[in-house]
Structure 1
Amino acid sequence: MSEKTPGFDTLQIHAGARPDPATGARQVPIYQSTAFVFRDADHAAALFNLQEVGYIYSRLTNPTVAALQERMATLEGGAGAICCSSGHAAQIMALFPLMGPGLNVVASNRLYGGTVTQFSHTIKRFGWSAKFVDFDDMDAVAAAIDDNTRAVFCESIANPGGYITDLDAIAAISDRAGVPLIVDNTTATPYLCRPIEHGATLVVHSMTKYLTGNGTVTGGVIVDSGKFDWSANDKFPALSQPEPAYHGLKFHETFGPLAFTFNAIAIGLRDLGMTLNAQAAHYTLMGIETLSLRMEKHCSNAVKVAQWLERDERVAYVTYAGLPSSPYYDRVNRICPKGASSLFTFSLKAGYEACVKLIDSVNLFSHVANLGDTRSLIIHSASTTHRQLTEAQQIAAGAAPDVVRLSIGLEDADDLIADLDQALSKACA
């Protein structure tokens, strides 16, 4: 008989965590150290030559961060993981080994506003570009991929609207084109969705959100599926061709399924320096220990609040995929079988000014530019997180001027509904 694989609830507590060999400490210690002592000169040389795995300098590797990386790789079903300083850092680091001047990424037009800005403007400074496409139009996605495309990028559950992407269909298109699919799984978390099981090559997270769950630290992670053949063609020389900085070492030939993981540490973290600090990793590890419990409550609360909003005559529509009225409802059981998370938007019939008044009238909801907190959060995306976008881009992203975004927390759902009710009365008077 084969040994039973532990369940998610067990792995979110135990994966990557072992009693400290020096002290017996049961919780993963915070290794607040910049550098680590080598056993001898040969040990140091082996580490720097990537011939041995170990700790050199905390910009590259740190025991606390390593525990978090192992936990995230395990929960997402990946071969390895690389933690970094934020979700935005994770996106750049995911693209860094794949891209080069003149190359492009095909991206969903339903993305977090900061990601749209990063892909529309910032990556151009590297000579990269992005093509934004409606990822519900599979023909358009396929047509957008050309000889210079090096990745396809989407969110499993899109921020802010909560739209669910058909990952299986997008992965099939990416596979036919021979390019990796990168999925931002921040809103879903690995408890609700495991994109690698739907064909994703890389999974990125802003760990700042649901994974940590308490709004205390920022962090990002890239999980490497280990399943992509980086040597199938000459599109990815950083992974398939000799690396001059390591005496001609070929990452894919040398490290196989862990090629991307080792490259992202040995080159990405080494040269970009987007390092996650040990204390932030510790907070995130503690947050993940209760992930499944929190996500179940997030989802049940979101269903109750969304149902109430949909019945309210002051509301034009609600985008929550967990509602039968949603065009994405049929994807929930297939892509996110345990729930549609707790991020969604709703539109006010009274328009932009009413949205602003609503924001200023809530008491229990917090008006902050974040999501995935234990506390319920509210924001008017068009004037904040998506402010840099044109109105057409805002509408395409699900952040139109008459739309408010909610991140439903862990409070009593009836209290959240009461707060929205009194705020709506003031906003729509």
Structure 2
Amino acid sequence: MSDRAQGFDTLQIHGGAEPDPATGARQTPIYQSTSYVFRDADHAAALFNLQEVGFIYSRLTNPTVMALQNRMAAIEGGAGAVCCSSGHAAQIMALFPLMGPGKNIVISTRLYGGTVTQMSQTIKRFGWSATFVDTDDLDAVKGAIDDDTRAIFCESIANPGGYITDLDALAKIADEAGLPLIVDNTSATPYLCRPIEHGATLVVHSMTKYLTGNGTVTGGCVIDSGKFDWSASDKFPSLSAPEPAYHGLKFHETFGPAAFTFHSIAVGLRDLGMTLNPQAAHYTLLGIETLSLRMRKHCENAVKVAEWLENDPRVETVTYAGLKSSPYHSRMETICPRGAGGLFTFAVKGGYEACVKLVDSVELFSHVANLGDTRSLIIHSASTTHRQLTEEQQRAAGAAPEVVRLSIGIEDADDLIADLDQALAKATA
């Protein structure tokens, strides 16, 4: 085929996968195999020395998972990708080659509650730390960076509030500081936002959400832009310095733009073992084939529902960036020109108790701790996903006690509005 760049709708179907060379199967098979036979002793040695690319053991590489990795790199515009067992695993995988005891990251306050806990509490066990800042306050971002900072982390469309981050501004700060910018693109998906085009170094996903789209598997992915110079300073020795486990091999010197991806597989998956199973990879490949079709419908429905809620007297506020009244609407036009996604929150008059009654009263919406499904979902974040946070942290994250989060699906929008109407009537009676 020519070198002509393919469109997104083509890449989501064909990117990273070809007919199975052994059987001619058009759909990528599920290679449910733990290990792979070597041609001979020299072949085995070459694989273990990273002198040849191939399959050794499915904790490291698997043909079905590799097809998914290639497709993720294609639709995000990256140089390579590594898939793992969950979105939380992907975040640790992204940080693993960058961090060390005493090192820190600068991270947005507007994040999924589980990420706030992971970054404020769990990573301390590795000797890492996180400094939380409002990423709309660029001076605060700059002021939080010190000699031990190793990355800046944010979400493109923040969960739960649907706030859109100024990725270009953060990328400029990261570049000036010689740091990678890591962007969680779960809520936007690469159809709505391609963070690498806005200067991101690494992109992480919970593939559990929109990418698979049907609530059947958990999975995560890290996509590397291939553009960061890991050898420009001594901050990233895992990628620039000799690796003892591979006879002094220097990943960046040896693999160039693919250094991060090779390290994440050869060291990250080898030692952390957060492997994606091939059946989950297969389901995710199937989901990605219809991503653009679904996201267009998610966005169309979200606009209709958000506009209805904004005009309802039982509702205090709606956070959706797709509304012209949103302070993030102009940012949508540059960061997410195809739409603001299907995720947002709204504040119910009556506060915490009204929110609890609302989620207990819906009939079509599903009350679950997930997002990005074809089905419309609802949750009261303050009592569930963000329950472990203080009220101050909840409000900073966009998950205040009086707020309900919606993940708008691809059903008929009028049916979704009717369900919210009857639930609001009961919640605010």
| TM-score normalised according to structure 2 size | 0.99
Cα distance in 2 for partners of 1:267, 1:24 equals 33
Tell me the secondary structure at the aligned position of residue 21 of structure 1. Answer: coil
Counterpart of 1:418, as a letter, is A
- Counterparts in 2 of 1:145-294, with a 5 A limit? 145-294=145-294
- State the superposition RMSD in angstroms: 0.8
User: How far is 1:133 from its partner?
Assistant: 0.1
Q: Equivalents in 1 of 2:381, 2:235: separation in Å?
A: 37
Displacement after TM superposition at 1:6 (Å): 1.2
Q: Provide the residue aligned with 1:95 in structure 2.
A: 95
* Partner deviation per Cα, 1:279-338 (whole Å, 9 max, x = no partner): 000000000000000000000000000000000000000000000111100011100000
Map of 2:119 onto structure 1: 119
Aligned to 2:387, the other structure's residue is in SS state coil
CA distance in 2, matches of 1:223, 1:372: 20
CA distance in 2, matches of 1:364, 1:179: 45
Query: 1:10, 1:148 → 2: CA distance?
Result: 42
Aligned mates of 1:170, 1:7 — CA distance in 2: 27
In structure 2, give the amino acid aligned to 1:416. L
Matches within 5 A, 1:229-378: 229-378=229-378
Q: In the alignment, residue 272 of structure 2 is paired with which amino acid?
A: L
Match of 2:76 in 1: 76
For residues 4-83 of structure 1, the aligned pairs below 5 Å read 4-83=4-83
SS state at 2:82 partner: strand
* Distance in 1 of aligned mates of 2:393 and 2:6: 43
Instruction: State how far apart, in whole Å, the 1-side matches of 2:420 and 2:233 are.
Output: 54
Provide the rounded CA distance (Å) in 2 between the counterparts of 1:78 and 1:94: 14
Q: Amino acid of the residue matched to residue 18 of structure 2?
A: R
Runs of 5+ in structure 2 lacking a partner?
none
Q: Distance in 2 between matches of 1:32 and 1:368?
A: 30
| Other-structure match for 2:142 | 142
Per-residue deviation, residues 229-284 of structure 1 (Å, max 9, x unmatched): 00000000000000000000000000000000000000000000000000000000
Distance 1:20 1:250 in 2: 33
Letter in structure 2 aligned against 1:394: Q
Deviations 1:335-380 (A, max 9, x none): 0000000000000121110000000000000000000000000000
Letter in 2 for 1:224: D
Aligned partner of 2:355: which letter? Answer: C
For each residue in 1:114-162, what CA deviation from the matched residue of structure 2 results, as whole angstroms up to 9, or x when unmatched? 0000001000000000000000000000110000000000000000000
Partners in 1 of 2:153 and 2:128 — Cα distance? 14
Q: Distance in 2 between matches of 1:202 and 1:42?
A: 34
SS in 2 for 1:157: coil
Gaps of 5+ in 1: none
Q: Deviations over 1:25-44 (max 9, x none)?
A: 10000000000000000000
Provide the C-alpha distance between the structure 1 equivalents of 2:226 and 2:81, rounded to a whole number of angstroms: 10
How far did 1:3 drift? 3.5
Following the alignment from structure 1 to structure 2, what is the Cα–Cα distance between the partners of residues 210 and 145?
Answer: 32
Number of positions where the alignment pairs a residue of Structure 1 with one of Structure 2? 429
Shift of 1:102: 0.4
Separation in structure 1 between the aligned mates of residue 187 and residue 345 of structure 2, nearest angstrom: 13
* AA partner of residue 214 (structure 1): N
Look up the SS of the partner of 1:130 in the other structure: strand
Q: CA deviation at 1:17?
A: 1.6
Q: Aligned to 1:71, what secondary structure does the other structure show?
A: helix
Cα distance in structure 2, aligned partners of 1:244 and 1:6: 41
Alignment partners' CA distance in 1, 2:178 and 2:6: 33
* Secondary structure of the structure 1 residue equivalent to 2:37: coil
* Amino-acid identity (%): 83
Q: Which runs of 4+ in 1 moved over 2 A?
A: none
Whichever residue aligns with residue 274 of structure 2, its letter is M
| Distance in structure 2 (CA, Å) of the matches to 1:224 and 1:3 | 22
| Distance apart, 1:4 and its partner CA | 2.0
Give 1:392's aligned residue: 392
2:414 aligns with 414
Q: TM-score, normalized by length of structure 1?
A: 0.99
